[in-house]
Amino acid sequence: MKKILVIDPIVKLEFQKMVKEYLAAFEKPDLEIEIATVEKGPSSIETFFDESFALPEILRIVDENKDRVDAIVVNCFADPAVHAARDLVKIPVVGPAEASVSIALLLGQKFGIISTLRNSGPWSEMQVRTMGCPDRLAGAAGIDIPVLELNSDPVKTADRLAQAALHLIRDKGAEVIVLGCTGMAKVSQILRQKLEVPVVEPLSAAISMAEVLIRLNLSHSKTGLYLAPNPSSIKGYYWNGKEK
């Protein structure tokens, strides 16, 4: 039995329930998906400030489970602590942003990203530049609905997403739409009925990418960017249940 651990980087247990229900469809007889939620940190990740408070808890969970699971997914489009986690472990660590953009590149020449709030557009643009494919990005935008309100009215959210998507498709040449928030998982099913282009939902993309890496017996190279850290040099945080 192969296991993928999904780390929810926000302290909202109701979000964990939604994620568990959504991911049940991705489990297989030989693939188990587990979910862990940070014990302290942000209620949502909408700013760099929010993200910074999620990082130590994400890494604690990664460290505690690195020898027990076959891959790890960090459940946020910001890909928080993904690179740091890859330093720490030998198994694949997948972020939804990298996974969904990688899939979008296979589906069309240009893709667009739609997320929440006004800062998400520039944030997504920055992520794509870091991934090395800015010329393939048609545009990125936010719909001005906070993360925790995305599922309060799914039809309204889907309508707002569709409006933003149509602008990117008709005016910017997007051939694929990437949703820039894993909180849009359920809403994506409604949105797909409104658009004629592929819609990539980032949580399912990350889970699928993690499974592919497990099946292919592949993980991140440690000969360049990623270097094993020395956790004992960190003071005031908990590693393996003990304060260093």
- Residue-wise pLDDT for 71-88, tens only, equals 999 999 999 999 999 999
Distance CA 207, CA 220 (A): 16
Distance CA 199, CA 34 (A): 25
Q: In the structure, what pLDDT confidence band is assigned to residue 242 with cuts at 50, 70 and 90?
A: low
DSSP3 helix / strand / coil % (the chain, rounded to 5): 45, 15, 35
Domain 97-201 has CATH 3.40.50.720: no
The 3-state DSSP class for residue 35 equals strand
Instruction: In the chain, list all ranges with CATH 3.40.50.12500.
Output: 2-95+205-243, 97-201
Which residues lie below 8 Å from residue 176, measured CB to CB, with a gap of 6+?
104, 107, 108, 110, 111, 112, 197, 198, 199, 200
Distance CA 130, CA 98 (A): 10
pLDDT at 235: 84
Distance CA 7, CA 93 (A): 11
pLDDT, average across residues 42-56: 95
147-196 pLDDT, tens digit per residue, is 878 878 888 899 999 999 999 999 999 999 999 999 898 899 999 999 99
Q: What are phi and psi of 71, to 5 degrees?
A: -165, 160
Task: Identify the architecture of domain 2-95+205-243 in CATH.
Answer: 3-Layer(aba) Sandwich (3.40)
